[in-house]
């Protein structure tokens, strides 16, 4: 008997058949496992069961569709998705009461809901590794994954998982072994910050990156081109472009991750004050202080982060001067925290950052934010932003000015300046202290008229205007406060106890 070899179509069909069968079995198993998890009464809250229900429904519908309509071209994607969601079932498993201290779960959940979003579900999961982390958001990610395929019954899926479009699921991990210091759990404040930072990153970071990208690319390209070896003529310029592209991706990741971690540290301090600083210091003590972001998953060096947190905690750390804390233990704690000031007086972190073009650029982005014309800045309630006028003014010696808001904006809650007076002789752009005193966010567009200048005759005219120890000379951008340069600041600030 003569054997006819497979045609290429037949061989492809043979591969597909086996692959499909394997994926169906995998989905059915996963759906069954996830359903079993839901049946157990082994969880301290409903959140783990919610995620396992999402997993079960997803896997079940995938199995059904693999039997009928999922096309061959999508099998590789389905395989990847099954790999991803199988891991998620492990997060649920880890949240069983046998693994989790009961006492922690409900109070932790309450804290997360209060600070992040009351419609979120939080799986609180102990980790064997000594780390705090947050993973999410599951529901919207699953929606995004599954909406890639026209053949997937998304409406059925939405109905079966029983979650509203505004409900979300996160998994927060903490070290199972608490060591000696339960205060470490103040690191949770930072993790909750990730939820807020993710919202920011999805909109504002994209804008910041798009506006700076071409300038960053130019600088990185100059750096790369300098000593590039001869290459294949088919890819002469592209070889350089690939090298630049890799640097750009690393730069973007370092900028994004850097931003996120710094925002989260800030949120941690905002929620839990100096406890967050203490927890971070204790946690960071395990690591080297000056590791480059390129060697640590793009995280900024610990020394850098602690310096920023100390800055944010400054009011709390200084409050004990004069008014005093209620007891000696807290005083000792504050004193211990102040060790951080010596720790962050070192500059190894800044040297590491400056030593590589990939880590210099993110720092430049982090230091300033330019909103281009045609785009907008969303000013949230209770937030103060220093901005500047488009106009560069030069006030003569016989005029004094006042910055006033416009009533149309004031009715929406915008305050443009609280220190409104501009002295005769001032030159420069005017720094505006923008704040939103209403309860809903305000969108501001560069170039739009938000303020007005009132000019008054100065009688008699000033002979030598804006001279002497003036702090803000000829600014071309918004200027931070230089209160510390005032003579009275030094004269009246509380003296350190010897």
Partner 1 sequence: MEDLGLVAELFRTSSTLARAAASLEKLASGKDEIEPTEKEALSWSGEFLLAVDWSAQQQAKKPVGGGLALQATSVRPTFYSCLFRMAPQLREAGMHDEKELTSFLNNFYRNLLSPGTPGKGYKKLTSDQSKLGASLLHEMAESILVQINNNGLPRPTATLKDEWKPTANDLTPILIR
Stretch that binds partner 1, among 23-31, 203-211, 321-329, 439-447 (CB under 8 A): 203-211
**Nearer CB in complex with partner 1: 202/469:** 202
**Nearer CB in complex with partner 1: 130/472:** 130
**Nearer CB in complex with partner 1: 133/389:** 133
Which 369-428 residues touch partner 1, going by CB under 8 A? none
**Nearer CB in complex with partner 1: 283/426:** 283
Please pick, among 35, 93, 167, 433, the residue that the annotation labels catalytic.
433
Note whether 260 binds partner 1 by CB under 8 A.
yes
Q: In the set 60, 109, 117, 191, which binds partner 1 (CB under 8 A)? A: 191
**Nearer CB in complex with partner 1: 73/439:** 73
Q: Which residues pair with 170 in a beta bridge?
A: 122
Note whether 207 binds partner 1 by CB under 8 A.
yes
Give the number of C-alpha atoms closer than 13 A to the C-alpha of residue 146, restricted to the C-beta side: 24
**Nearer CB in complex with partner 1: 263/432:** 263
- Work out the number of other CB atoms within 10 angstroms of the CB of residue 98: 5
Residue 81 beta carbon to partner 1: minimum distance, rounded to whole angstroms: 7
Q: State the helix-helix crossing angle for 302-318 and 236-272, rounded to 10 degrees.
A: 30
Note whether 74 binds partner 1 by CB under 8 A.
yes
8-state DSSP, 15: H
Q: Which residues contact 123 (CB under 8 A, 6 or more apart)?
A: 47, 48, 51, 91, 92, 95, 169, 170, 171, 172
Could you tell me if 458 and 426 are in contact, meaning their C-beta atoms sit under 8 angstroms apart?
A: no
Which 339-358 residues touch partner 1, going by CB under 8 A? 354-358
Note whether 363 binds partner 1 by CB under 8 A.
no
Q: In the set 25, 119, 236, 411, which binds partner 1 (CB under 8 A)? A: 236
Note whether 12 binds partner 1 by CB under 8 A.
no
Residue 297 beta carbon to partner 1: minimum distance, rounded to whole angstroms: 6
Which 266-325 residues touch partner 1, going by CB under 8 A? 294-295, 297-298
The site for partner 1, by CB under 8 A, has a size of 74
Note whether 15 binds partner 1 by CB under 8 A.
no
* CA separation, residue 72 to residues 61, 78, 470 (Å): 17, 10, 72
**Nearer CB in complex with partner 1: 105/252:** 252
Q: In the set 206, 384, 443, 445, which binds partner 1 (CB under 8 A)? A: 206
Note whether 215 binds partner 1 by CB under 8 A.
no
Counting beta carbons within 10 angstroms of the beta carbon of residue 270, is it exposed (0 to 12), middle (13 to 18) or buried (19 or more)? Answer: middle
Residue 207 beta carbon to partner 1: minimum distance, rounded to whole angstroms: 6
Distance in angstroms (rounded) separating the CA atoms of residues 142 and 52: 13
Note whether 81 binds partner 1 by CB under 8 A.
yes
Residue 349 beta carbon to partner 1: minimum distance, rounded to whole angstroms: 16
Pick the closest to residue 224 from 206, 256, 205, 251 (CA basis).
251
**Nearer CB in complex with partner 1: 29/74:** 74
Could you give the string, one character per residue 95-134, with x where binding to partner 1 holds by CB under 8 A and - elsewhere? Answer: --------------------------------------xx
Longest dimension (CA), the chain: 117
Could you tell me if 417 and 429 are in contact, meaning their C-beta atoms sit under 8 angstroms apart?
A: no
Whether 178 sits among the annotated catalytic residues: the reply is no
Three-class SS of residue 183? helix
**Nearer CB in complex with partner 1: 128/336:** 128
Note whether 365 binds partner 1 by CB under 8 A.
no
Three-class SS of residue 5? coil
DSSP for 39-63? Answer: H---BSSSHHHHHHHHHHHHHHHHH
8-state DSSP, 299: P
Stretch that binds partner 1, among 96-104, 195-203, 468-476, 490-498 (CB under 8 A): 195-203
Phi then psi dihedrals of residue 172, to 5 deg: -110, 125
Distance in angstroms (rounded) separating the CA atoms of residues 236 and 219: 19
Residue 241 beta carbon to partner 1: minimum distance, rounded to whole angstroms: 5
DSSP for 318-386? Answer: HTHHHH--SSHHHHHHHHHHHHHHHHTT--HHHHHHHT-HHHHHHHHHHH-----TT--EEE-TT-EEE
Residue 145 beta carbon to partner 1: minimum distance, rounded to whole angstroms: 6
Residue 468 beta carbon to partner 1: minimum distance, rounded to whole angstroms: 42
Which 41-70 residues touch partner 1, going by CB under 8 A? none
Q: In the set 34, 70, 252, 417, which binds partner 1 (CB under 8 A)? A: 252
Could you give the string, one character per residue 437-476, with x where binding to partner 1 holds by CB under 8 A and - elsewhere? Answer: ----------------------------------------
Distance in angstroms (rounded) separating the CA atoms of residues 398 and 385: 31
Three-class SS of residue 468? coil
**Nearer CB in complex with partner 1: 56/267:** 267
Which 133-172 residues touch partner 1, going by CB under 8 A? 133-138, 140-141, 144-145, 147-150
Q: Which residue has the tokens 């005759």?
A: 457
Residues serving a catalytic function are 433
């Amino acid at each position: 008997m003569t054997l006819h070899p497979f045609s290429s179509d037949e061989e492809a069909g043979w591969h597909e058949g086996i692959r499909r069968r394997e994926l169906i079995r995998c989905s059915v198993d996963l759906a069954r496992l996830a359903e079993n998890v839901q049946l157990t009464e082994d969880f301290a809250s409903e959140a783990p069961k919610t995620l396992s229900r999402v997993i079960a429904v997803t896997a079940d519908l995938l199995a059904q569709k693999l039997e009928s309509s999922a096309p061959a071209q999508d099998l590789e994607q389905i395989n990847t998705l099954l790999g991803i969601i199988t891991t998620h079932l492990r997060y649920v498993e880890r949240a069983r009461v046998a693994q989790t201290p009961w006492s922690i779960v409900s109070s932790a959940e309450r804290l997360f809901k209060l600070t992040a979003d009351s419609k979120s579900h939080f799986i609180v999961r102990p980790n064997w590794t000594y780390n705090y982390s947050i993973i999410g958001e599951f529901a919207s990610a699953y929606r995004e994954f599954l909406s890639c395929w026209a053949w997937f019954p998304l409406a059925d899926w939405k109905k079966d998982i029983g979650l509203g479009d505004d409900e979300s699921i996160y998994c927060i991990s903490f070290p199972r072994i608490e060591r000696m210091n339960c205060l470490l759990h103040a690191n949770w404040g930072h993790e909750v910050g990730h939820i807020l930072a993710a919202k920011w990153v999805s909109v504002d970071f994209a804008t910041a990156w798009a506006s700076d990208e071409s300038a960053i690319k130019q600088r990185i390209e100059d750096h790369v081109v300098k000593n590039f070896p001869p290459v294949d003529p088919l890819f002469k310029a592209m070889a350089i472009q690939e090298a630049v592209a890799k640097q750009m991706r690393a730069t973007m990741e370092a900028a994004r991750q850097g931003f996120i971690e710094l925002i989260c540290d800030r949120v941690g301090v905002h929620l839990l004050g100096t406890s967050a600083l203490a927890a971070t210091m204790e946690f960071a003590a395990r690591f080297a202080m000056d590791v480059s972001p390129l060697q640590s998953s793009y995280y900024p060096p610990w020394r850098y982060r602690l310096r920023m947190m100390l800055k944010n905690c400054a009011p709390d750390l200084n409050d004990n001067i004069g008014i005093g804390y209620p007891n000696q233990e807290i005083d000792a704690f504050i004193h211990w925290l102040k060790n951080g000031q010596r720790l962050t007086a070192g500059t190894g972190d800044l040297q590491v950052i400056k030593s590589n073009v990939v880590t210099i650029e993110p720092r430049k982005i982090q230091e300033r934010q330019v909103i281009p014309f045609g785009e907008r800045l969303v000013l949230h309630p209770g937030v103060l932003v220093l901005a500047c006028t488009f106009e560069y003014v030069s006030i003569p010696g016989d005029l004094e000015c006042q910055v006033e808001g416009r009533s149309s904006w004031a009715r929406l809650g915008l305050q443009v300046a609280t220190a409104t007076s501009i002295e005769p002789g001032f030159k420069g752009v005017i720094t505006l202290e923008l704040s939103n005193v209403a309860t809903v966010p305000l969108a501001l567009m560069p170039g739009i008229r938000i303020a007005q200048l009132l000019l008054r005759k100065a009688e008699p005219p000033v002979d030598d205007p804006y001279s002497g120890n003036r702090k803000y000379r000829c600014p071309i951008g918004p200027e931070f406060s230089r209160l510390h340069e005032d003579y009275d600041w030094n004269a009246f600030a509380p003296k350190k106890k010897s």
